Amino acid sequence: MAIGYQQMLDDADAKVTSVEAADMAAHLGAEDIVMVDIRDPRELEREGMIPDAFHAPRGMLEFWIDPASPYHKPRFAEGKTYVFYCASGWRSLLAAKVAQDMGLDARSLRGGFGGWKSDGHPVGELQKRAR
C-alpha cells in the first residue's frame, strides 16, 4: 500500500485547522460559519445533528462543492467558513482537506459529533428541508 489512512489523516491534520466543540458552540448561528455534517443519513436519523447544520454526504462532497458540477450546491459558494464534522473527526478531517484543496475556507470539528454530544452541546433532529 502506497499510503494508509493514518498517513492521510496526519497529512490532512498538518494542513487543516481543527476547531474545538466549545468554540463552535459559542458561534452557533453565526452568519459567517456553516456547520457541514458529512455523516451517512442513517447516522443522522439515529443520533440527530448539530442545530442548523447543512448535511452534505461525504460521497457527494466534491461534486456539491465544484460550481462546474451538475450537482453543485449553492450553499458551498457563499464564501463562508465551512466546519465539517462526522462521528469522530476522521472523515471530516479528510473532507475538510478536500474542501480546502478546492478553495473553500474549511475547518474540521475535533472529536466530531461524538465529542460535541458528550460535551453536552445542543443536538437537533435531522432537518428534512433542502438548502
Contact yes or no for 85/109 (Cβ under 8 A): yes
> How far apart, in whole angstroms, are the C-alpha atoms of residue 90 and residue 111?
8
18-57 pLDDT, tens digit per residue, is 999 999 999 988 999 999 999 999 999 999 999 999 999 9
96-122 pLDDT, tens digit per residue, is 999 999 999 999 999 999 999 999 998
Query: What's this model's pTM, rounded to 2 decimal places?
Result: 0.92
Q: Could you tell me the end-to-end alpha-carbon distance of the chain, in angstroms, rounded to an integer?
A: 39
Asked if the model's pLDDT at residue 124 lies above 90, the reply is: no
Parallel, antiparallel, or unpaired: how do β-strands 54-55 and 33-37 relate?
Answer: parallel
Residue with cell 451517512: 40
Asked if the model's pLDDT at residue 127 lies above 80, the reply is: no
Asked if the model's pLDDT at residue 123 lies above 60, the reply is: yes
Asked if the model's pLDDT at residue 131 lies above 60, the reply is: no
Identify the pLDDT of residue 39: 96
